[in-house]
Amino acid sequence: MPLSLRYFIVLIVLLSTILPESNAQRRRKPKIWEGFSVTGRVGATHYFGDLVDDGQTHFAAGFVGEKELNTFLGGRLSLMGGKMSGTQNSSAGTKNGWFENTFTELSAGVSFKPLNVLLGYYKQRAFNPYLVANVGALYFSATKYWGVYGNNFPGVEYGDVWNEVSKVTATASGGIGLSYWINSQWSVNIEAIGTVPFTDDLDAHSSYELPGGGTVVTENNDFYYVTSVGLTFLIDDSRWKNEPKYNRKAYLKTRSQYKNSSKKNLKSISKKRRKRR
């Protein structure tokens, strides 16, 4: 056998052993995705402040990425955006002024699942409450408008811009949530998160002028909360295992899930076959 043919055969054998292994490695998901989920959120935001008597509710939306750190803690990264508004009323019930605010908040924090500590880790638990704590940064652009209070100042008309503020500030937030397990990849949840910004300008007003002269500085009491509904997709299962006492429950639950999905697939296949006929 020629030497060149020998080299060619050796090369083919080496490639046949290396390529399947490399392909398997490419198919295997990186460890960073173990226990990692992505949630799309939609909900409403509501504002409270020292100068605002009536805070309106507005639409909010965003995304949350979360990775299981252990059996009861998860690391979170959240991006939310929306709108706030509110009015300051006079003693007669008319508008002294009102504000509008659009915001984007980026925060990082943790979620804590108490039932996983009290009852044991169980991936297929139907309802699982949790607590959330975050720190982050908030960008907002707020505008306040004159109401009847502007009648005390010459040249001011109802609806004129009173003040405008755009800035970035730090935030601290916390709240509660409840998730419902649908199957091994999907779940739905609801959350209520309250946020305290390190500024008093969310309503574009940290001080105001008195008609007879002088300025009143308000207290730093701005606050808002977001209630939202989320749909969560688990990219890859975590390496944590169910407590042994839940093994039978988990087996029965996932088996019924796969049976249902198999029935649906069979029905769709049979429908396609009937159409072809």
Same domain, 85 and 148: yes
Residue 13 in any domain: the answer is: no
HSE value, Cβ hemisphere, 13 Å, CA-based, for 135: 2
Q: Are residues 178 and 66 in the same domain?
A: yes
Domain of residue 254, residue span? 243-277
pLDDT, position 24: 40
> 26 in a domain, yes or no?
no
Q: Is residue 119 part of a domain?
A: yes
Residues 254 and 153 in one domain: no
pLDDT for the residue 8: 47
| C-alpha distance from residue 110 to each of 37, 70, 134, 142 (Å) | 14, 11, 7, 29
User: Does residue 247 share a domain with residue 215?
Assistant: no
- Compute the distance between CA of residue 13 and CA of residue 85 in angstroms, rounded to an integer: 70
Residue 122 near residue 243 (C-beta atoms within 8 A) = yes
- The answer to whether 169 and 198 are in contact (CB under 8 A) is yes
Answer whether 0.85 is exceeded by the pTM.
no
pLDDT at 174: 97
Q: Is residue 230 part of a domain?
A: yes
Residue 29 lies in a domain: no
pLDDT at 1: 53
- Give the per-residue pLDDT at 229: 98
Report the chain's terminal Cα–Cα distance, integer Å.
Answer: 57
Q: What distance in Å separates the CA atoms of residue 96 and residue 88, rounded to the nearest whole number?
A: 5
Residuewise pLDDT in 10s, the chain (277 residues):
554 445 445 544 554 454 444 334 344 556 788 999 999 999 999 998 877 888 889 999 999 999 999 999 999 999 999 999 999 888 777 888 999 999 999 999 999 999 999 999 999 999 999 999 999 999 999 999 999 988 888 888 999 999 999 999 999 999 999 999 999 899 999 999 999 999 989 988 877 777 767 777 777 778 999 999 999 999 999 989 999 998 888 888 888 676 665 555 545 545 555 565 5
In order of 120, 162, 251, the CA distances from 245 in angstroms are 9, 63, 11
Residue 61 falls inside a structural domain = yes
CA nearest to 133, candidates 106, 104, 112, 118: 112
Q: What is the CATH number of the domain that holds 98?
A: 2.40.160.20
Q: Tell me, yes or no, whether 186 and 264 share the same domain.
A: no
Instruction: Look at the block and give the residue holding tokens 């946020």.
Output: 195
| Pair (265, 165) in one structural domain | no
Count of C-beta atoms within a 10 Å radius of residue 95: 18
Are residues 208 and 260 located together in one domain of the fold? no
